[in-house]
Every structure is written in structure tokens, then in C-alpha cells.
Structure 1
Amino acid sequence: MKPFAYVKAADEKQALAALGRERGKVLPLAGGMDLVSLLKDRIATPDRVVNVKGLDGTITATPDGGLRIGAAVRLVDLIAHATVSSQYAALAEAASETGTPQIRNLGTVGGNLMQRPRCWYFRNEEFPCLKKGGARCYSVDGENQFHAILGGGPCHIVHPSSLAVPLVAFGAKLRVVGPRGEKEVLAEEFYELPERNLYGETALRPDELLTHVILPPAKAMKSATYEVRFRSSHDWPIAFASVALALANGTVSDARVVLGAVAPIPWRSPEAEAALKGQPANEATAIKAAEAALAGATPMTQNAYKVQVARTAVKRAILHAAGVSA
């Protein structure tokens, strides 16, 4: 890997002071699950790496009854948190499906939310792909069986974060700090399509840090995440879905449906939500919502199978959240 300077930041203030304004020149390091691989493969070639393990690593209640989760919280601690598992089941389920026990013991919430795409053309230094400043997206005419079926183009990556999908379903906000102060951004607006941001995936500027996740009160929402993988051992999902439902006497009064691993961003489906609202929480309704969620899918040459896989993930996430057996 390219040699780089190393800064160990004791807190948020020191971490911000060590960052820079030019993309890719200074990168934060938390658990290192993603960054170390990028460094080894020379996809990331920073001049300086900033250790941000000193950021907040706690989970605390907010005054309105929600949760404030520090970016340095490890996935294993997120899974074990009683309030997360009882009130935000979709988030706990997504975290528990991430990687291996070793990865969950080191990986952090912020690292999971900020990881780069897993596209094999992007990850291979031999391919000057569109996202790395090249002339074309190699997946269009190449091996695209794991690429996007929704919202793709000009780059056809799929979003890699397992936690971002349920966070969008819960309407979470992300706290961002930088030299211009701090702000809270909806998770749904934090991630950007390639047509808007080709060389990055988020609205985060190089001199800004993601420091916290802020979850609104769960109230009576029921939620679930359902993931489909080739192998039950460590593997990246083919498709998955996170669903948050409000139920009244067996009828869906409100719903949020978000798909993962099928688009360059966590893909919220207003069509599926509309198909659920006002309808009984049963298998027939779940099937209609799943069909609505994938109605606009545009598969590539080798990934049409993902359409049915994603439909199944949406249907089962809805039924699981509603407590209905398929």
C-alpha cells in the first residue's frame, strides 16, 4: 500500500482538525474492516489516515424517547443493546447478519454506514472504471449478476451498508460535523445516486465526519429485516428488505419499505408503502406490496433473478414485521 501519515485523534475536535478538503487525501479509520482492504488494493491512496476510535461509542436515550447511537459503537454492542433489539428489531437483525463474529466485534456503526461499494470492477485496481475516473462502467457489458436492478446508471453499484437500510425505514437522522458547524441529515437524503455523485456515495464532504445516528421514538412500530444470501455463512446479500409497520386491529395504518443490495442507495419504495396502507396485514397484501416494490426494476444481462429474490425479501420482511406466518 502507499505510505501515509497517521494521526490518532483523541476526540471529535482533534479528528476534525486532522481532516482535509480534498477528496481521498485524508481518510478516517475506525474498525478498519473496509479501509484496510481499500488500502491494500490501492483503491484508496490517502496521504493521511485519522484514527477516529475516540468518537462517541455509546448508545443513549434522547429526550423524546428515541436513541442516539455513536458512530464508534461496535456492531456487537448494537446487537446486544436491549432497547435496539426490543424496539428497533429491523436494525438489530441487520446488524446480526453483517459479516462474521470477528467483523462484528471490530466493525463500527459509522464504518458500516460509510463503506465503499463492493463492485468487483471498482475494487480491482486493474479496471479504470467510471467511479474511479475511467470512461465506462465495466458491469454494463461484463459480469453484472450482483449489480443494480433499480436506480442504476451511469454506474451500476449496489449499496453495501446493511445498517443504512433499516435506518431509512425508521426515518433516522445522521449527525454530521465539520468546519461549518454541525447538522442532522435524514438517512434517506444522506446517500446519493451516481448520477448526482459519481465519485462518492454520500453527501458527506471530505472535511466532515459522521458522528451519530439519531433514531426517532419507535412508538408502536413493528419492524423486520429479511436478507437473502447464497450461503448462510459470511456472504454479501443478493437482496434484502427492511420494513417498519404501524398496525391497528390487524390493518396497516402506516408503512416504510426499504430495499438493500438492489440499487446504488438504500431504495425506499413508496409504491410498496401505498400498497400496504389501509390493507390487512396478511400474505396477499404482502405479495402485492412486493410486486409493487419491484415493478420498476430494470435488470441487466445477468441479474434478472434478483427481481424475484427481492420480491421474496420484501414479502417475508412484511410478514415477519406483522407477526404473520407465510
Structure 2
Amino acid sequence: MNKFSWYEATSIEDALQQVNKTVSEELYQSTNNAAVFKSGGIDVFDWVKEGLINPQKIINIRNIPGLDVISYDAKDGLRIGSNVTLAEMASNSDIKNHYLALHQAINHAATPQLRNMSTLGGNIAQRNRCWYFRSADHQCFRKSGDRCFARHSETGENENHAIIDNGSCVSLHASSISTALMAFNASVVIVNSKGEKKKVLMDDFFVSAGQDIAMETILQAKEIITEIVLPAPSKNTKSYYIKQVARESYDWSLGDVAVVIETSGDTCKSASIVLGAAAPVPYRSVQAQQAMEKKSINNTNAMAAAEAAMSVARPLSKNGYKVPLFKSIISEAILKIT
């Protein structure tokens, strides 16, 4: 691990002023001139320890006042500060009572110890998971290299990788919480170094590999997430979340799904269906949504929606099992709505 200085930010303005003093425009640029923000710090310190980033300065934003608040209003919805820990979210009654799929996703994320440390902002801004991408010895496409090591049909270890939108990169975004947030049409509030604030839908917060292979989110080096906002659900909105793992309950996701449906009796009035660990970013399955809308919530239609979701899947040499896995959990999650 390289040497770095530590700065304890006292406000958003203070943190942004500190990063303005560096010459780096890239959040994870491997240069001694770079500065990075740290809140919970779990993902950032992984990158530092592995020598994948070499920051001159780490700016701690964990103790900035006002970023650790959860508030709910029946009209305006839910607001969660970026420094709220996953443990605090897991115990919040408003989330449990009004956003069940999010509550379930949080309680399936990481371990209890990590949930005590991890913040929501850091969770959704973490970098993608791929052992080649996270190895200092492999210069893949995402690190300005000339190949995708995981894609190689004979030597590539790709059993946990993407099956959708995996043309140029097959890594996965690791935040299963983002799956649920996107299903609830959440927005991310971001402040830049000029003090300008913007509110971006989760669907637009993530950047596909086809758009920019070097980015996973729109977040820039001199920007901070301040809060995540979820609209208030209607009284007829129901939701459910399922995560499938290989071994223990705290393992990385092989596939997860969040389903949010506005019902009218036993009919799906509108549907929001998002898949995690299926693509390099959380993937909204428009195909599944269209297959369910204006249909009865039953086994036949749930399976049709699952089939529609997987119609765009292009599995790799070792992860074809994900197609039936997703079909199973998508249909199950839809049926749990009833």
C-alpha cells in the first residue's frame, strides 16, 4: 500500500474544496496526484490495498453532518442520506413498511459486520466485480487494456459474470441494493465542486459498458452523492426481492431480482422489474415488464415474463446456468406479490 495523507472533511463544501486542490479529473486514476473520497471505505480500501489506485490523499466524508438522515413522508416519499449505513436502513420501519423489496435487499447484503460499516452512497458507487478487473496483473478493456480475460472460451473464468449486455465487458455491478432502488424508481442527488446539485434517476446513474467502458456510473471525481430519493408508492403497490447465492447467505449474488407492481385486484396495473448480477449494471427488464402489465398475476403470466426477460440473455462458456436461475427467481418474485 502506498503512503497517503488523510483529510477529515467537515462539510460537503470542505470535501470538494480539498479534491479541487488535486490535478486528477478521474476518481480512480492510478497516479500519485489523485484524491479519493471515503465514507464506509470498504471498496476504496480494497482498491488501495491491491495497488489498483494510489491516492495521494483520502478525504473522509463519513462524518459530514446531515448525510446520515432517513426521512419518510406519505406524499413526498423516502429520502436516505448517502452516509446512512446499511444496518440503519435494515432497522428502519418506514423502509420495511413501505418498500419491502428494498428492506429484503438490504438484509441480504453483505454480513452484519459490513452492514454496520457500509454506507448507501458507497454501496451504489462501488466499482464492478470481476477478478480480472480487480487484479493488478490483468489489463482488461475496462482498464484500457486490449482484451477481456473472462470472455476467453477456454481459459476465462466467467461462471459468475454477465449474461445480458455483455458485449464489451462481462463484469457485474455488485450492489444488490441498487437492484431494489431502481425497481422503486429511485433518484440519486449529486453535488459537484461548484456547489451545483443535480437529481438523476437510478436508470441514468449507471453507465453501460457500451456507453463508456471506463465508467460504471456518471459520478465524476469532483462530485459527491448526498442522498437517494424514492417516490411514495401508491396504496396498491406491492414489492418483493429474491437473491440467489452459491453458498452462504452473505455470498455475492449469482442473480437477484426486485419486482414492484401496482395491482388492481389480482391484475398487474404496472410493473417495475430489475435484475441484479445479470449485466454490468443493474438491468431493468422492459421485456418482463411489458409481459406482465395488464395481465393477471398467475403462474402462466409470471413464467411468460421470466421467459421474456431471458430472451435477451447471451450466456458465456461457463454461466449458462444463470438463464434458468433467473427464470425461476423472476417468476417466483412476481408470484410472491399476491
In 2, Cα distance between the equivalents of 1:233 and 1:264? 22
In 2, Cα distance between the equivalents of 1:178 and 1:62? 27
In 1, Cα distance between the equivalents of 2:314 and 2:130? 18
In 2, Cα distance between the equivalents of 1:71 and 1:32? 13
In 1, Cα distance between the equivalents of 2:214 and 2:54? 14
Percent identity of paired positions between Structure 1 and Structure 2: 34
Residue 153 of structure 1: CA displacement? 2.4
Residues 1:61 and 2:72 aligned together: yes
Cα deviation code 1:177-215 (max 9, x no counterpart): 003400000001000111212112001111111110001
Q: Which residue of 1 aligns with 2:214?
A: 199
Pick from 180, 186, 201: which aligns with 1:166? 180
In 2, Cα distance between the equivalents of 1:153 and 1:176? 29
In 2, Cα distance between the equivalents of 1:8 and 1:317? 43
Pairing 1:1-326 to 2, within 5 Å after superposition: 1-20=1-20, 21-23=24-26, 24=28, 25-55=34-64, 56-62=67-73, 64-141=75-152, 142-180=156-194, 181-220=196-235, 221-320=237-336, 322-323=337-338
For the 8 Å contact 1:130–1:155, the answer to whether it is kept is yes
In the alignment, residue 137 of structure 1 is paired with which amino acid? C
In 2, Cα distance between the equivalents of 1:252 and 1:277? 5
Q: Is there any run of 5+ residues in structure 2 with no aligned partner, and where?
A: 29-33
Residue 133 of structure 1: CA displacement? 1.6
In the alignment, residue 90 of structure 2 is paired with which amino acid? I
In 2, Cα distance between the equivalents of 1:15 and 1:120? 31
Residue 233 of structure 1: CA displacement? 3.4
In 1, Cα distance between the equivalents of 2:133 and 2:308? 31
DSSP-derived class of the 1:258 partner? strand
DSSP-derived class of the 1:60 partner? strand
In 1, Cα distance between the equivalents of 2:102 and 2:74? 21
Residue 62 of structure 1: CA displacement? 4.9
For the 8 Å contact 1:12–1:54, the answer to whether it is kept is no
Q: Which moves more between the two structures, 44-53 or 20-29?
A: 20-29
Aligned residues: 322
In 2, Cα distance between the equivalents of 1:83 and 1:62? 9
Residue 88 of structure 1: CA displacement? 0.5
Residue 278 of structure 1: CA displacement? 1.0
For the 8 Å contact 1:173–1:187, the answer to whether it is kept is yes
Residue 59 of structure 1: CA displacement? 0.3
DSSP-derived class of the 1:167 partner? helix
Cα deviation code 1:204-237 (max 9, x no counterpart): 1111111100010012211111010011332101
In 2, Cα distance between the equivalents of 1:105 and 1:288? 39
Q: Is there any run of 5+ residues in structure 1 with no aligned partner, and where?
A: none
TM-score normalized by the length of structure 2: 0.92
DSSP-derived class of the 1:214 partner? strand
TM-score normalized by the length of structure 1: 0.96
Residue 319 of structure 1: CA displacement? 1.6
Residue 77 of structure 1: CA displacement? 0.6
In 2, Cα distance between the equivalents of 1:207 and 1:32? 17
CA RMSD of aligned residues (A): 1.3
